[in-house]
Amino acid sequence: MPKEPAKLKLTVTENFLNELETVVMFGSTVFGDKVSERFYKGIMSRIESIQSFPNANPKSRFIPSSERKIYRNVIYGNYYIIYSVTKTTIRIISLIHQATCPKTIGKIK
């Protein structure tokens, strides 16, 4: 029976957690708790899919990758989840609204 490939270690930055909390709290205030909770669960589901298939999403066109670290993004609703992939780790870096200026996104690392 073939071996299942080992999953990469998943880390989440404090910056991402703060951004997620801000968006969820704002959503709760404007759209209600149920919508906000659905958004949170959707984001967490996307992160789980990143861990299962880290290279399935496109390389970020805003942040240049290197040989050792590849920056990728996945879209959820109107947000980008920016993450990096190395040989051993997936690092969830930021949650950014799609209307954010690309130059601002390019400064994230």
SS (H, E, C) the chain: CCCCCCCCEEEECHHHHHHHHHHHHHHHHHHCHHHHHHHHHHHHHHHHHHHHCCCCCCECCCCCCCCCCEEEEEEECCEEEEEEECCCEEEEEEEEECCCCHHHHHCCC
Q: What is the pLDDT of residue 61?
A: 87
User: What pLDDT, on a 0 to 100 scale, did the predictor assign at position 5?
Assistant: 57
What's the order of all strands across the beta sheet hosting 70-76? 9-12, 89-97, 79-85, 70-76
What's the CATH code, domain 9-106?
3.30.2310.20
Whole-number Å distance between alpha carbons of 89 and 69: 10
Task: List pLDDT tens digits, range 45-97.
Answer: 999 999 889 999 999 988 888 888 999 999 999 999 999 999 999 999 999 99
31 pLDDT above the threshold of 90: yes
Q: Which two tokens stand for residue 46?
A: 């996307």
